[in-house]
Amino acid sequence: MHLSCRALRLLPILQVLWPSVIADSFLSDSLVRKGQVQSVLEHQPVHLSECENVKPTGPIDTTLCDYETVESVNRDLFDNLHQLVQMPFFKYFQVDLYRECPFWDDHGSCSDPGCAITTIDESEVPEKWRTKALSEVDSPVEDRHRLPGCYYRDSDFCFLDDHTEGDYFDLSLVPERFTGYSGPDAHRIWRSIYEENCFGLSEFALLSGKSPSAVTLPDSMTDVLREDGVDNDQCLEKRVYYKVISGLHASISTHICMEYLNQSTGEWYPNLQCFVNRIASHPERLQYIYFNTVLLLRAVARIEPYLSAYDYCSTGTHEDDVETEAKLSDVLSIAKKAGRFDETVLFRGENANVLKEEFKVHFRNVTRIMDCVGCDKCRLWGKVQTTGIATALKILFELDEKTLDPRSNANLLQRSEVVALFNTLHRFSESLEAYNMFRRMWSEISASESEELIYEAERAAAGIPRTVAQPIPSAIFGEARVRLGTFLHFCKENTLECVARIVRMWMRGMRSMSSVFSPSGKEYGPTSSSDEL
C-alpha cells in the first residue's frame, strides 16, 4: 500500500491519542455555541474512500470507524436499501399494535389523521409468510418465556409477537414522518425509555471493583470508549446503551423534520428550523445516528453467511428472487466495509453475564413501552425499529460463530427480525441522507436567515417558546377544515379501519376520563424538545 495512504488510515487513531494533531471533529461540541450549528451544516460530506481523505474527522465514538467511511458509502447504501425494502419479503410486516400498555392505563391517543395507518389483508401476503405457515416453523415452546400475544427467548433483547394475533402492514406505504403526536403523552414515552438507561447493582459492582472497566481492551478501543460525550463514570456497556437509545431518538426526530406537515395548507415539507433545533444544535445526537448505522452494519456483516443462505422466495418468480438477492448482496458488501464495531470488547469479566442480562431486560422493557404509544403510525415504526436494533444486539452479543451457521441453525431468526433489521438500517441511512439535504438547504439561505434559525434554536434550548403571530379565527377554521377533510377522505377509502379507529378513540377517551381519579405516578416526561414520535 502506498505510504501516504497508510498514513491517512492512521489519522483517526492519531486523533484519539494526540488530539492536537488534527482539528476537532465537526461533531465535537454538545452545547449550542457560536459557530457550532454552522460547523455541522457547513460540513462537506466525503464521497471518496478514506485513503483519498485529506483530513479525517473521525473516529465515531465507541466504534473503529470514521465519519468519512460512512459518508463515502451511504449514498450507495441508501439506494440499495431503498430498493431492497420495496421487495415483497422486506416490506410486509406482521405486528399486534393493540396490546394493552403494561406500564400505565392512560396512554392517550392521537386523533390527528396523520397517526392513522391501513392494514392489508392476509390474502395479499405470500402464503409462505402467513400466520399458519410461520407458526409451523417457530422454535419449540419450551425455549420461550410467554406473555399474552408475545414472548422472548433467553437470547432476545426484545419481545416478539407470537403470530397468533396482529395485522399485516405494507411498510413501503407507511412513511415515517410528522404525525402531530406530541405533548405530555410523547414526553412520557421518551422519559420512560430513557429511564431504562438506569442500570443497578451490576454496574455498581463493575465500577467499585479494582479495575473500573473490569475488562482488558486494546489501547485504541479503550481510548475511543473513554473519550466521548457521555459521563465518564459510566461503564462501557451503559454508554453503548445510551448511544443506541439517543441515536434512535435522533433518527426519528430527523424523519419528523424531513417530512413536516404544514397544518394550515396540508403540505409536507423539509423543516430546516426543526432540524437545527433538534439535531444541528446538539451535534452529539448526529454522532449517535452515525454510531447506530455502524452498529447495524456490523450486525448485518457478521450474519452474512446466514443472510446469504436465507430463503427470500416470495412470489415464486425467478426474477424477484434474483433482484432481491442482488440488492442484498450489495448491502452486505457495503456492510463489510463500514461495519467496523468490535463487539468482543463488551460484556467481559466476572460480572459480564449479570450486566448483559440487565442490559437485555432494560431493552426488552423499551420494546414493551412501544405498546404505550398513542399514535398508530408511531407505534408501528417504534416496534419495527426497536425490534431491528434488538436483533442487531442479539447478533453481536449473543450468537457465536457456530450458531450463525445456516446449515445447523436454519431458523435462527424469525422472519420479522430479518425484516425489522433491514428496515431499521434503512431508517438510519435515510437520516444521514436527510442530513445532506438540510446541509444543502442551509447553503441556499442568506446570512440573516441563518442567524434567525440559530437565534430560535438558542431560545428553544433555553426553554423559551418560539414567538409566533396569533392565528386569526379564519386560519383556525381553515386548519380545522383541512384536518376534517383529510379524516373524511381516510374514512371513505378505509371504511372498516375508520370505524375501528373511532371505536378505539372512544375507548381510550373513556380510559383517560377514568384515569383522572387514579393518577399513574409517572405524569412527567423528558424536558427535551425532540419529544415527538
Active site residues per annotation:
375, 378
Tell me the C-alpha to C-alpha distance, in Å, between residue 337 and each of 16, 37, 69, 343, 360: 21, 30, 8, 16, 28
Determine the Cα–Cα distance for residues 144 and 160; give it in Å rounded to an integer: 10
Q: With CA atoms as reference, report the closest residue to 533 among 394, 386, 389.
A: 386
Residue in the structure block whose three cell numbers are 415464486: 316
How far is CA 103 from its chain centroid? 22
Determine the Cα–Cα distance for residues 175 and 82; give it in Å rounded to an integer: 12
**Cα 267-80-363 angle, rounded to 5 deg:** 80
Helix or strand or coil: residue 459? Answer: helix
Determine the Cα–Cα distance for residues 424 and 368; give it in Å rounded to an integer: 18
Contacts of 283 (CB under 8 A, 6+ apart): 26, 27, 28, 29, 30, 36, 39, 40
* Beta pairing class for 260-262 and 144-147: unpaired
SS (H, E, C) 191-209: HHHHHCCCCCHHHHHHHHC
* Beta pairing class for 150-153 and 144-147: antiparallel
* Beta pairing class for 160-161 and 150-153: antiparallel
Determine the Cα–Cα distance for residues 56 and 64; give it in Å rounded to an integer: 13
Nine cell digits for residue 329: 448482496
Helix or strand or coil: residue 101? Answer: coil
SS (H, E, C) 321-349: HHHHHHHHHHHHHHHHHHCCCCHHHCCCC
